[in-house]
Each structure stands twice: as structure tokens, then as C-alpha cells.
Amino acid sequence: MKKHAYLLIFVFLLFPLVVFSQSQDVTTKAIGHIVSVQHENGAWSRLKGEFPEEAEPTSWAVKVLKMKKVFDDKAEKGIEFILKDQRPDGSWNNNTAHTAFAIIALKQAGKGDEAVKKGIEYLREVQDEAGGFKRIGKEGAPLTIYTAVVLNAFIDAGFKRNDPTVRKALDWLMGCQNPDGGYGMPKGSPSLAVSTAWTVRALILSGINKNTSFVSDAVDWLIKTQRPSGGFAMLQDKAPEDPEVTAYTIMALSKIEGKKEIIKKAEGYLANVQHEDGSFTSSAPIQFNKVPKKNTQTTLFVAWALAEVK
């Protein structure tokens, strides 16, 4: 009996190390894929050979490489591309998310102060009267996920909750919560895991208390999208788990205490579905029209998510 007891104790003590090693292995393989698909001009695309190189995926790559402090030469080439790609109006592609992600990457790298300043000015200019942010400048309806990403950029750039743009965006975002606790993409639309996860992340980063219903009810909604495999799905019912959705959810839950076991299960799922070349298959990117593809975008977000897990 004593022998079995000692064995159980050994396994229990070893288990956290195994999980850590597994997560590190997934990240290392993902980064290996990421650096292998960088274009000669220093940029990245969502899927090399099918989509053009852009500032947005380049920003994700720079963020990941700088977080992990690896392949600095490749990150620097990416930064050069980002800086050259900024428009005179301060935006990247007149797209609020592209602009926000570029700011996030540059702040992570500690580069491009003037570019960041111009990007912030552009975002202030295109904020909707109600406080949200639209996908393309001032066109269309404000969207939760774009507003959440912009908030992430403002917080990374050092702005606080009392900043007028931040305050308006937070008020609008919290006003988008559905009765079920989740958040849809435009206000009033059905709850989705991607918009709920990014909203939770933005609220926590902005200093909103995790115990408020805006956060706690959203977290409860998110947890119900986890499948037995450990992966997270876009919807609570009748939707398969997806690695990119799982990455977004990890990025949200890693900001909240007491979610380690849930995240460990998600990490196990990611390890199981990672391809040998380090990449992942997902139908989440809107450009894929719900067709599952092995791609760089998903791989980048998985690497980002795992880099944030403590």
C-alpha cells in the first residue's frame, strides 16, 4: 500500500511539470512554424500562398516573438514592415483592429513611439458617438470584438479608465451584454465565444472588477462552451471545438484567478490537434468563409495565448 501511495504522490507532483512541458512544446513548435512562413519583406500573411502579407498578422507575429524573446532579427524585420505600412491618417488599412494590433505589437517591442501616437489619434477620431468601434473607420456598425481590441491597445499604450475614449468604449461594451451573459458581435446579436472572450479580456485589462456581472456572467457563459476534449467552441450548443476559439478563451481566462484547471484542459486539447509542422487548422478567420484551413493566423493566436498563461 505504501508503494502505491508514494507512486501517486510522485505522479501528482510531476503532473504540473508535464502540463508545463506540454504547453512549452506546443509553443515552441508553433513558433517554429511562424518563423518559417515569414515573407522576404519581413511581413506575415494569414496563410502564406493564399493571402497577402499584411500589417495585422505581422503585428501578431511581432507580439509573439517579442513576448517569448526569440528570433529577434525576424521580429525586427516585421517591425520595419509595420512602420512602413502605416497610412498618413495614422491608421493601418483604415481598419480599427489592424491599427490596434499594430499599436499592441509596437508597445510590446518598445518601438515606434511616433507611429503609436498617430495610431491612437486615428482611433480617437473614428470612435462611434456611442463609444464603440467599427471595423473600417467610420463605416458600418460598431462591433464588440473591435472595441475590445482597441481597448487592449489603449491600455497597452498606458491610458487608464478615466481617459475619455477608454471610458466611452467601456460603457458601450458593457452595454452590449446579452441576458445570457455573453456578448454578440454587433450589439443585440447572439452571444459568440470570440466576442465574449475578447470582451472579458478587455474589461479585465481596463480594471473592471472580475466579480461584476459584466465579467463573471460572461466567464460563466464562456466556460459552458468548453467541450470534453478541453477545446472551446464558438457556441454553447451544436458547434465543434476550435483551436483559435480556444486560444481567445485562454487569453481571457488567463486574466482571472481560479481557472487553471480549465486552461490545462484547453492546453491538452491544443497539444492533441497541433500538426507536426506546428500549425493549426481552424475555420474561425472570417476570410476563410467557415472552411477549415491549416493556417498561420490560428497558430499565432495559440502561441500568444500560451505565452500569457502563468
Q: What is the pLDDT of residues 254-299, one digit of tens each?
A: 999 999 999 999 999 999 999 999 999 999 998 888 899 999 999 9
* Torsion of the alpha carbons at 204, 209, 210 and 214, rounded to the nearest 10: -90
35, with CB counted inside 10 A (0-12, 13-18, 19+), is: middle
Mean pLDDT value across residues 296-305: 98
How are beta strands 293-295 and 44-45 bridged, if at all?
unpaired
Contacts 24+ apart (CB under 8 A), 219-227: 219/252, 219/253, 219/256, 219/259, 220/181, 221/180, 221/181, 221/182, 221/191, 221/196, 222/182, 222/193, 222/196, 222/197, 222/249, 222/252, 222/253, 223/262, 225/193, 225/249, 226/262, 226/265, 226/266, 227/269
Between the alpha carbon of residue 141 and those of residues 4, 60, 89, 138, the distances in Å are 61, 25, 21, 8
Above 90 in pLDDT, residue 160? Answer: yes
pLDDT digit string (tens) for 47-70?
A: 999 999 999 999 999 999 999 999
Residue 106: domain span = 40-111
- Model confidence at 12, pLDDT cuts 50, 70, 90, reads very low
Phi-psi region at 112: left, alpha or beta (left = phi > 0; alpha = psi -120 to 50): left
Helices 193-205 and 213-223 meet at what angle, rounded to 10?
140
Q: What pLDDT does residue 21 have?
A: 60
Query: In the chain, how many domains are there?
Result: 2
Question: What average pLDDT is seen over the chain?
Answer: 92
In a domain, 212, yes or no: no
In a domain, 100, yes or no: yes
In a domain, 187, yes or no: no
Query: Domain boundary at 57, 78, 111, which?
Result: 111
Query: Domain boundary at 59, 77, 111, which?
Result: 111
Q: What pLDDT does residue 187 have?
A: 96
pLDDT digit string (tens) for 174-211?
A: 999 999 999 999 999 999 999 999 999 999 999 999 99
Q: What pLDDT does residue 290 have?
A: 85
In a domain, 44, yes or no: yes
Percent of the chain at pLDDT above 70? Answer: 93
In a domain, 174, yes or no: no
pLDDT digit string (tens) for 216-227?
A: 999 999 999 999
Query: Domain boundary at 111, 133, 168, which?
Result: 111
Above 80 in pLDDT, residue 23? Answer: no
Q: What span, in angstroms and rounded, lies between the C-alpha atoms of 228 and 61? A: 30
Percent of the chain at pLDDT above 90? Answer: 87
In a domain, 286, yes or no: yes
Above 60 in pLDDT, residue 86? Answer: yes
In a domain, 170, yes or no: no
Facing residues of 73 across strands?
none
In a domain, 215, yes or no: no
Mean pLDDT value across residues 108-132: 97
Q: What pLDDT does residue 238 have?
A: 81
